[in-house]
Amino acid sequence: MLGGIRPFFCPADMRIIGRNNHTALITSVNILKLSRANNNKIIGDTKMRLIAVALTLFSFAFAAEGKELPEKTFCIFDPVGANGPIFTRMQDFRTAALEWGIEAELKAYTNEAVALADFQSGVCDGSLITGTRIRPFNVFTGSLEAVGGLTSYQQLRELINMLARPQAAKYMVDGRYEVSGIIPGGSVYVFVRDRAIDSVEAAAGRKVATLDYDLASKKVVEHIGATMVPATVATFAPRFNNGDVDIAYAPAVAYEPFEMYKGLGQAGGIYRFSFAQMNFQLITYKDRLPDGFGQASREFFAEHFDQGMEHILTAERGIQENYWIDLPDEQELEYLDMLAGIRDELAAQGVYDTQMMKLMKKLRCRANPMHHECATDLLF
């Protein structure tokens, strides 16, 4: 009996093994000998192949009937719900998970806090939530959304690929929690109801819809002298659209479903400056899933990075061009330096992981080696 499956027909010369204790695979057919009445002639190659194929199909069918895959529940946060792009994209994950030894049940959540609470209470074996929410479980990957940490999608691609390598697996696990995949969510842009808010000085005293659980965002609002108005993923857009706040920040994928054009009106705009790289991360209970699940899952999401970017780029192209505001180069550099100072402060406080900050800096300097923050890397 192998892998929990008892085959009722198993030629002595055929080895059957169980993969993850649920799938019977024929790994070799060394010799298939059939005796005829008067001789021990070995069957021809063509017939041997046909018999091997037939037995392979038979073993798969028997395995399917012999033992069902364990069901695991994944709570998926998608602001749009079950018809949203994130939940839809996770259907491919569900199919791939069969190969990793589980039957994945996906549950859609439009309230991220509820998805997180269900994960913490054990209702879910894994949960797909935003990177900022990951920090209590893994501060290393929870630092991917560091303000100004990554300035392009190419840098994000390189980082996700690095973290999907087996050598990085030790950084993906913290206690019983494992980060089992990262999905791009898009650059976070600053939305203003009035284009007159065109500098840090002009933002002073203005109201900003701020995620109340995000210490980094609070620090930025405090730094520019603006007024923080607590918000959640569900409430920031209504506050912006209704005029309760003057400023909001979000990726382009929020523009259409949250109708943020209502808040922009005729006077507003969106600064084409990447404030941070939003992402979704699959956090799982390592002890509830098969060995190797996390690594296989991370590699799957890294390989599907381009599919994840399709919806983001489409959303960015879908925003009316007249809403985009391009910053002068000098002002952009000024803001990057401001965010660098905030990153350093938050890293010193333990909000951001110092190892991740170093890794992000390497990626930024690889893209722009002449930037002044990279000067120390050139002096050797």
- Domain residue spans of the chain: 14-66, 71-186+279-310, 187-277+322-365
pLDDT in the model for residue 377: 55
CA distance 253 to 234: 14
The percent of residues in the chain predicted with pLDDT above 70, rounded, is 81
CA distance 281 to 126: 10
Average the pLDDT over 231-259 and give the result. Answer: 96
Beta-carbon count within 10 A of 291 CB:
10
How far CA 368 is from CA of 118, 151, 157, 360, 375, in Å, comes to 42, 10, 16, 12, 11
CB 276 within 8 A of CB 178: no
Token representation of residue 161:
């690929």
How far CA 93 is from CA of 74, 88, 115, 221, in Å, comes to 11, 10, 18, 37
How far CA 191 is from CA of 203, 208, 213, 319, in Å, comes to 12, 10, 20, 12
At 138-194, the pLDDT tens digits run 999 999 999 999 999 999 999 999 999 999 999 999 999 999 999 999 999 999 999
How many alpha carbons lie under 13 Å from residue 158 in its C-beta half-sphere? 15
Confidence of residue 341 (pLDDT cuts 50, 70, 90): very high
Confidence of residue 376 (pLDDT cuts 50, 70, 90): low
Answering whether pTM is above 0.85, one says: no
DSSP state of 326: P
Q: What are phi and psi of 113, to 5 degrees?
A: -60, -35
CA distance 125 to 25: 28
CB 96 within 8 A of CB 300: yes
Residue pointed to by tokens 């010193």: 348
CB 151 within 8 A of CB 280: no
**354: nearest Cα among 136, 140, 182, 131:** 140
Confidence of residue 25 (pLDDT cuts 50, 70, 90): very low
Domain spanning 187-277+322-365 has what CATH number? 3.40.190.170
Q: At what angle do helices 85-99 and 305-318 cross, to 10 degrees?
A: 170
How far CA 25 is from CA of 56, 59, 315, in Å, comes to 7, 7, 44
CA distance 42 to 34: 7
Average the pLDDT over 8-33 and give the result. Answer: 35
The percent of residues in the chain predicted with pLDDT above 90, rounded, is 77
pLDDT in the model for residue 67: 66
pLDDT at 32 over 50: no
pLDDT at 293 over 90: yes
CATH of 71-186+279-310, one of 3.40.50.1970, 3.40.190.10, 3.40.50.720, 3.50.50.60: 3.40.190.10
User: What does pLDDT average to over the chain?
Assistant: 85
Same CATH fold assignment for domains 71-186+279-310 and 187-277+322-365? yes
At 96-146, the pLDDT tens digits run 999 999 999 999 999 999 999 999 999 999 999 999 999 999 999 999 999
